[in-house]
Structure 1
Amino acid sequence: MSRLLDVKDLEVSFQTYGGEVKAVRGVNFHLDKGETLAIVGESGSGKSVTSQTIMRLIPMPPGRINKGQILFDGIDLVKKTDKQMEAIRGKDIGMIFQDPMTSLNPTMKVGSQIAEVLVKHSKMSKTQAKERAIELLKLVGIPFPNQRVNQYPHEFSGGMRQRVVIAMALASDPKLLIADEPTTALDVTIQAQILELMKDIQKKTNTSIIFITHDLGVVANVADRVAVMYAGQIVETGTVDEVFYNPQHPYTWGLLASMPSLDSDTKEELAAIPGTPPDLTNPPKGDAFAPRNPYAMKIDFEQEPPMFQVSDTHYAKTWLLHPDAPKVEPPASVTSRMRPVKGAYTKPVLSRKDGE
């Protein structure tokens, strides 16, 4: 597969009254054409800032890209001006936001809002754009698209509005689609439909997708690879099977342990990660997760761990993978989900790798 996106050593901060918030701290990852990458983590971990930085949507100031590259089809988006980015947003990179009502203009018919994107980026006539809008509404599963194209957002349910937002994002056939928690505001049944829709659309269009979420369970059947973020850094990355069935970082263990399982006793309490994320105006020395990590060692409070290689595609940023570290077993709620992953091995990676 050919590389579409390569994010290298990205650092983003925001100047606030309380000081400089180091929101993204040395993030590395890549995305191939036709692939889905899920970025997972708690609120405040840096997921949305990372995705919005790719689109160059963070306000500058107070936001600032301190370091790094965002190579999209070989072009560094960090070096693009706002005017140049206007030609890329919507055309080459589409974005689906969390709340569809904030993405749609309540005073405009949905067909006009989709057509507006097509007229601007695809240079279609208004008649051609309306015909294409009807096709897109049909693609995203809106019934009676010929009639619905002339309706306003308030005449659609929440799930249908999100489908309209997806249609807008797909209007110009973007190479990359960024979905920032697109199902959070929806009920479970509609959430499943939207996830299934995105999978189906990707098969039809071969669009690459970055899926942002705080819920590991949401990405299990959607993503090809997963990157787990904590305190502005990627702490584990691998294929879905590797992260779900052979997790290596204690933070990933905590996320998995907090997921309900149909196999467990219904009276069993869900696990919770103790404590709160660190204050990123003054990031902690060593491993940022150490104060919340029941398996933390002395070195975790003194020195930041490198990214350790578990397999060709699996990396984790924890001192527990050092050859001299004591052997620690994950909690029972996690080991019950784990299974051997063929060819797994562990060695430290000192050079730059995805997720470092």
Structure 2
Amino acid sequence: MENILEVKDLHVTFDTYGGTVQAVRGVNFNLKKGETLAIVGESGSGKSVTTKALMGLIPKPAGKIPKGEILFGGKDLAKLNDKQMQQIRGRDISMIFQDPMTSLNPTMKISKQIMEGLIQHQKLSKKEARTRAIELLRLVGIPEPEERINQYPHQFSGGMRQRVVIAIALACNPQILLADEPTTALDVTIQAQILELMKDIQEKTQTSIVFITHDLGVVANVADRVAVMYAGKIVEIGTVDDIFYNPKHPYTWGLLGSMPTLDNDEDQLVAIPGTPPDLMHPPKGDAFAPRNPNVMKIDLEKEPPMFQVSDTHYAATWLLHENAPKIEPPAAVKRRMQGFASDHGPTEEGEKR
């Protein structure tokens, strides 16, 4: 299946009073039609900045894309100006933000907020846009949409507000949906409902999704492929099965080890020691080296390339070099890998979870 989006060697920087922050440092990935790609990592790893770059939402003049390509529909989005990007935002690429209350205008009825994009991008009349808005509210599972479309955001619960935000994002049938931690502000039960809703909508519309999260538990249920980001770079990328059954990067081991499980009362969470590096002064070599319990001399001297593990699986760690010592994931990580296997089971190639 051909790629709908290709990101090549993307760099994003921010000028600050203290110096230049290299927030994204050479990111590469692609996205296929109908696929969900999850980008995971700690706060500050560059996940959200990457998605904002795709939408042309890097704040200027402090934010810049000094290098790289974002190829979509025969265009390099990194080269487009704000006016050109306005034709793409909402119509071709939409975004669901983390907190629905900051995404919705509290002074405007839901009807107007959904209809805006339909009138601007789809050139629908107000009557047609209203009919379509009601259909969208019904699609995202809001009961009595004919009545609720006339209400304001404060009249909806947190979960229902997020459904409204999803309806707005889907209004113009975008080819790509960017979801920036869309369930973080919601309780666990509502999270599960929203994730199930997104999976259901994707099956119906074949929209491609880039899902940003720090929660690997969420990834297991929604993604086809996973990209693990650290210090502005993708350090491992593969299918969900690759990442959960056969992780190769020590940082991925750390993320898996910090996942809570219910099957073992004695099992303690494994914290990743240390803190992420200062991207105003990126470290030499492997950025994860100071936090890596299996650090080698070369990690401190030379940045690792992306080693190919399989046709779908790549990781940037010197542990994959043929001369490196053979180091197994920690016992806590292995237990979580086994727990994932018992909870989910391996998937067939191309099968949606």
Q: TM-score range by the shorter chain?
A: over 0.9
| 2:258 alignment counterpart | 258
Local SS of the residue matching 2:222: coil
| 2:148 alignment counterpart | 148
Q: Does 1:299 align with 2:318?
A: no
In 2, the alpha carbon distance for the partners of 1:138 and 1:81 equals 35
| 1:354 alignment counterpart | none
| 2:35 alignment counterpart | 35
| 1:101 alignment counterpart | 101
Paired amino acid for 1:318: T
Paired amino acid for 1:278: P
Q: Residue deviations 1:273-309, cap 9 Å, x none? A: 0000000000000000000000000100000000000
State TM-score, norm by structure 1.
0.94
CA contact (8 A) 1:3 1:73 kept: no
Q: CA deviation at 1:34?
A: 0.6
CA contact (8 A) 2:226 2:243 kept: yes
Paired amino acid for 2:71: L
Map 1:222-233 → 2, pairs under 5 A: 222-233=222-233
CA contact (8 A) 1:54 1:77 kept: yes
| 2:277 alignment counterpart | 278
CA contact (8 A) 1:11 1:65 kept: yes
Map 1:13-162 → 2, pairs under 5 A: 13-162=13-162
| 2:349 alignment counterpart | none
Could you tell me which runs of 5 or more consecutive residues in structure 1 were left unpaired when the two chains were aligned: 343-356
Q: CA deviation at 1:73?
A: 2.3
CA contact (8 A) 1:174 1:207 kept: yes
Paired amino acid for 2:298: I
| 1:353 alignment counterpart | none
CA contact (8 A) 1:320 1:327 kept: yes
Q: CA deviation at 1:324?
A: 0.4
| 2:313 alignment counterpart | 314
In 1, the alpha carbon distance for the partners of 2:123 and 2:80 equals 23
In 2, the alpha carbon distance for the partners of 1:107 and 1:27 equals 39
In 2, the alpha carbon distance for the partners of 1:65 and 1:278 equals 21
CA contact (8 A) 1:245 1:337 kept: no
Q: Residue deviations 1:312-348, cap 9 Å, x none? A: 0000000001010011111111122447999xxxxxx
Q: CA deviation at 1:61?
A: 1.1
In 1, the alpha carbon distance for the partners of 2:234 and 2:264 equals 30
Q: Residue deviations 1:21-65, cap 9 Å, x none? A: 000000000000110000000000000000000001011210010
| 1:10 alignment counterpart | 10
- How many percent of aligned residue pairs carry the same amino acid? 74
Paired amino acid for 1:211: F
In 2, the alpha carbon distance for the partners of 1:85 and 1:277 equals 32
Paired amino acid for 1:310: V
CA contact (8 A) 2:267 2:332 kept: no
Q: Residue deviations 1:64-117, cap 9 Å, x none? A: 101000001231111111111000000000000000011101011101110111
In 1, the alpha carbon distance for the partners of 2:180 and 2:7 equals 17
Matched positions, count: 341
| 2:351 alignment counterpart | none
In 2, the alpha carbon distance for the partners of 1:232 and 1:292 equals 16
| 2:289 alignment counterpart | 290
Q: Which moved more, 1:24-33 or 1:329-338?
A: 329-338
Paired amino acid for 1:299: I
Local SS of the residue matching 1:218: helix
CA contact (8 A) 2:261 2:336 kept: no
CA contact (8 A) 1:176 1:208 kept: yes
Root-mean-square deviation (CA, aligned residues, Å) is 1.3
Paired amino acid for 1:198: M
Local SS of the residue matching 1:95: strand
Paired amino acid for 1:215: D
| 2:322 alignment counterpart | 323
| 1:166 alignment counterpart | 166
Local SS of the residue matching 2:87: helix
Local SS of the residue matching 2:234: strand
Q: CA deviation at 1:261?
A: 1.3
Local SS of the residue matching 1:28: strand
Paired amino acid for 2:61: P
Q: Residue deviations 1:213-244, cap 9 Å, x none? A: 01111110100000000000000000000001
Local SS of the residue matching 1:336: helix
Local SS of the residue matching 2:221: coil
Q: CA deviation at 1:310?
A: 0.4
In 2, the alpha carbon distance for the partners of 1:136 and 1:330 equals 45
In 1, the alpha carbon distance for the partners of 2:56 and 2:165 equals 20
Q: Residue deviations 1:234-284, cap 9 Å, x none? A: 00000000001100000000000000112222x432110000000000000
Local SS of the residue matching 1:21: strand
In 1, the alpha carbon distance for the partners of 2:335 and 2:182 equals 30
| 2:244 alignment counterpart | 244
In 2, the alpha carbon distance for the partners of 1:130 and 1:323 equals 61
